[in-house]
A and B are shown apart, each in its own frame.
Chain A
Amino acid sequence: MPMHWPIERQPIAPRELPYFNLHYLYGCSASSDPTMVWGTEVDAEELRSFVQQRNQCGTVLISPAHVLLVAVGRALARFPHLNCRVIRRRVHRFREISVRAITYDPRRREVEIVLVRNAHELSLEEMAKLMWKNQRKAAKGASLEHSDRRLIHRMPDFVLRWGFKAFVWMERNLRLPSIRLNRLSSAPVVVNYLGFAGAPPMRMYKPSAYPNESSHLSVTMGPIEMRPVVHNGLLAARHVAPLFVRGDHRLTDAYLLGRFVGTLRDYLANPATIEQPLAKAA
Chain B
Amino acid sequence: MANAVTAADIGATALLEQQILTYLRTQVPQAEQLDVQTDLLEAAILDSLMVADLFVWMETQLKVKLAASDITPQNFRSVECLGRLVAGKRHKEAKVA
CB within 8 Å of B: which residues of A?
52, 54-56, 58-63, 65-66, 103-104, 106-107, 129, 131-133, 135-136, 138-140, 193, 195-198
Q: A63 touching B73 by the CB < 8 A rule?
A: no
Q: B48 touching A58 by the CB < 8 A rule?
A: no
CB contact between A59 and one of B41, B51, B72 (< 8 Å): that residue? B72
For the complex formed, measure the closest distance between the CB of B29 and the CB atoms of chain A, giving whole angstroms.
5
8 contacts between A and B (CB under 8 A): A61-B41, A62-B73, A107-B53, A132-B51, A136-B52, A139-B55, A139-B56, A195-B47
In the complex, the chain B residue whose C-beta lies closest to that of A198 is B29
In the complex, the chain B residue whose C-beta lies closest to that of A58 is B73
In the complex, the chain A residue whose C-beta lies closest to that of B53 is A139
* Residues A133 and B50 in contact in the complex (CB < 8 Å), given A55-B73, A58-B73, A197-B29: no
Number of interface residues of B (CB under 8 A): 24
For the complex formed, measure the closest distance between the CB of B44 and the CB atoms of chain A, giving whole angstroms.
7
Q: A52 touching B42 by the CB < 8 A rule?
A: yes
CB contact between B47 and one of A63, A107, A132, A133 (< 8 Å): that residue? A63
Work out how many contacts link A and B, with CB atoms closer than 8 A.
74
13 other contacts beyond A138-B52, A198-B28, with CB at 8 A cut-off?
A58-B72, A61-B51, A103-B48, A129-B68, A129-B69, A136-B56, A140-B56, A196-B47, A196-B49, A196-B50, A197-B29, A197-B44, A197-B49
Q: A197 touching B45 by the CB < 8 A rule?
A: yes
Is B93's CB within 8 Å of the partner chain A?
Answer: no
Is B12's CB within 8 Å of the partner chain A?
Answer: no
In the complex, the chain B residue whose C-beta lies closest to that of A56 is B73
User: Which residues of chain B have C-beta atoms less than 8 A from A55's C-beta?
Assistant: 41, 73
* Residues A198 and B30 in contact in the complex (CB < 8 Å), given A139-B53, A139-B56: yes
CB contact between A135 and one of B45, B48, B72, B76 (< 8 Å): that residue? B48
Give the complex CA separation of A196 and B45 in angstroms. 9
